[in-house]
Amino acid sequence: MYGETKTLRRRLWTAVLRRRVPQWLAALAPLVIALILLHAARPLVIAAILPWTVWVAADIYRWRWRLKREWTSWLDAAIPALEDSSTLLAADATTPIAKLQQERLRARLASALGDDDYRSIARTRVRVGILPVLLSLAAAGAAWGYHGKQIATVPASDSQTAKAIVDGEIYLSVTPPAYTGVKSFETAARDLQVPQFSEVRWCVRNPSGAQPAVELGDGQTLPVTEACAVKRVEESLFWRARGKNGTRYNIRVTPDQAPQVTIIEPTELIHILSKDAKTVQIAVTARDDYAIVRASLHMTLARGSGENIRFSDREVPLPQSPDPKVRNWKKQWTLTELGMEPGDELYFFVRATDNSPDNPHTTQSPTYTLRLPAPEAESLESTALPSMAKPENLRSQRQIIIDTEQLVADMQAHPNMPAATVRARSEAIASDQAKLRLRYGQFLGEESSLFGDEHDHEGEEHHGASPVFGSEMSVLKEFGHAHDQEDNATIFDPKTKAVLKRALSAMWDAEKSLRAISPKPALPPEYKALDAIKELQAAERIYLHRTAFVPPALKEEKRMSGDIVGVLSYKRAQGAADNTVPAEVRELVQALSQDGALPALWSKAARDTIVARIVDQEQKLSAQRAVQDVQDGCAACRGELRAWLRGTLTDAPVLLQARPSTDTPFRQAWSGKEQQK
């Protein structure tokens, strides 16, 4: 009986699947078509397919669960001959009457249930929804819009559909620079996006009537002759044909971008090799929007310690690839090829240059470090020549900051980093910070304590607040010289001592954070310590300009004559505040707030200010449009132009002026009386 029930449920499930599969495929079809046709929107389409997969899995689970619970009621409702007894088919009969009824149901099922009955049950119970199909079509439409937007931003003639050129109207002929590889094209008047330094020609085919002219956004007017009007476009602008005030066309410029250089391997700025390492892999990539003409790997090998350090440089060109825009290079170097020995450090970076002939762009990657640890030195107890052991080099504060930042970056990039590794690296940096702190502490007479007054406070608590007259401590304090105090142990001036104390205090705070396995809070005090060290180093390199007064040379005929007529005065006149707001711009802003006439040459002053003070290309185009609108007689556009000009103005700096005052005996006496009161 169980086998017959299983066969019955399987046939019902097959009927349900035949009902649901077309709906699943109908919802998937728009996404598949978009995935094949829309190359620029493939990530968006893949992101939309993932919810479809989740929906299909949930739908399968839902219908299997309903079939398991409701299949008997489905049969009773569809086949009246079963007499609402289908539940007997789901379990084994325990009574003679139940067994007799099961035998009757099996006999009826063989003649009552057919393929058409299963399909009828599926049509009745499984309904087709249109909502998933609509959502799929909406996702495909969004992908289509995204694809069109991406294609529209490509500054190539192939991606710009040329409009038909009509006789008697102005058309454009664009010739991009040869190094870009973009083909020249001709098109009717419309918005364009071209590479920087492209040559744009405005021409007329079969002209008729008056000679046409082109008005540019910067105020220039170019007559369109038989040889056309030519301009080398360096920044975005708009233009219009003279007499057609309502039709403006934009020419947006795509600047030549600098190459992008990426170091793929190693992933860390400071990569420490294992002691038994034999090889190291370096992988780099360089990309440019047009082409890369030079790309090289620069390596510097540092060997030695202390003051006996030798450097050797090496440059390796990156090989070219079939695509001139990309250079990928990956190589497994042996340490023998790099010339590295235990204790050496290799610094390398990548430099790439694009193919711009006039202003080539050069990009240099950050400097990466490969460090091969030296073998551990033998202890003093086991070595026979302890005097030959070299002291361990101290790491600088800048190197400690670099190590800490690298640890923080690695912890963020790898949240599952083992706690033991994080602790070991943090404690190693803390140890370097402690050694550097003790090294600078020697200049304040410290041995192991940061604050020199700790021992004194303990002595005061133990011996009392004040020494007894005639005792050893009182005699030493009065006539002796306490060499064990940090304030008396060195010959530094108080200001230098204060800077040293600030540096040591910051180092101590950084060390405490590193000991607590909190490298990120240790960065601010590390930077404070570095600033203090820089201040100490800069104090030795102060250069003072000569400030002595040099009187003007006197004429020889006036020397020793007592005649001071014509002698130049050595008194310096007070400076005047710089006028950062040009007078013509100030007058124009005031005139734009009224309805009267504007000053002469106002358009030139406005355009010069816009070009000099507005950097954003879109804002510059909008401001130049406002100038042209006001020039065309638009009274409502004055407020917009005034707003643009006011946005370019900067506040004049405040210049403090000294007030002259005469100091007389009467004034001195009066001031004294006022102070006595």
Positions in the chain whose pLDDT score sits under 70:
1-7, 71-72, 75-118, 149-163, 167, 243-246, 305-308, 376-394, 445-492, 537-555, 564-581, 650-662, 673-677
- What is the Cα–Cα distance from 143 to 134, expressed in whole angstroms? 14
* 237 and 282 fall within a common domain: no
- What is the Cα–Cα distance from 175 to 233, expressed in whole angstroms? 10
pLDDT score at 568: 53
Residue 103 within a domain: yes
Beta strands in 388-480 (DSSP E): none
* 245 and 289 fall within a common domain: no
* 68 and 176 fall within a common domain: no
Nearest to 70 by CA among 144, 126, 17, 30: 126
Residue 25 within a domain: yes
* 523 and 636 fall within a common domain: no
* 43 and 145 fall within a common domain: yes
Residue 380 within a domain: no
* 204 and 332 fall within a common domain: no
* 303 and 339 fall within a common domain: yes
pLDDT score at 668: 75
pTM: predicted TM-score of the whole model, two decimal places = 0.45
Q: Of the candidates 254, 269, 288, which is a domain's last residue?
A: 254
Nearest to 176 by CA among 192, 190, 194: 194
* 184 and 232 fall within a common domain: yes
CA distances for 144 relative to 40, 135, 192, 258, angstroms: 9, 14, 22, 31
Nearest to 369 by CA among 398, 394, 390: 398
pLDDT digits (tens, 9 = 90+) for 30-48: 888 888 887 777 788 888 8
Residue 382 within a domain: no
* 94 and 130 fall within a common domain: yes
* 147 and 3 fall within a common domain: yes
* 10 and 145 fall within a common domain: yes
CA distances for 436 relative to 506, 529, 539, 614, angstroms: 12, 11, 20, 49
* Total structural domains within the chain: 5
pLDDT score at 21: 82
pLDDT digits (tens, 9 = 90+) for 65-102: 877 777 667 766 666 655 555 555 555 555 666 666 66
Give the CATH number of the domain where residue 343 resides: 2.60.40
Determine the 3-state secondary structure of 259 from DSSP.
coil
Residue 202 within a domain: yes
Identify any residues that bridge with 309 across adjacent strands, giving them in sequence order: 304
Q: Of the candidates 254, 271, 294, which is a domain's last residue?
A: 254
Supply the angle between the helices 638-648 and 602-613 in degrees, to the nearest 10: 50
Residue 623 within a domain: yes
Q: Determine the length of the chain.
A: 677
pLDDT score at 431: 92
Nearest to 505 by CA among 558, 440, 453: 440
Residue 57 within a domain: yes
* 509 and 604 fall within a common domain: no
- For residue 212, give its domain range: 169-254
Q: Are 82 and 112 in contact (CB under 8 A)?
A: yes
Residue 275 within a domain: yes
pLDDT digits (tens, 9 = 90+) for 296-338: 999 999 887 655 678 888 899 999 888 889 999 999 999 989 8
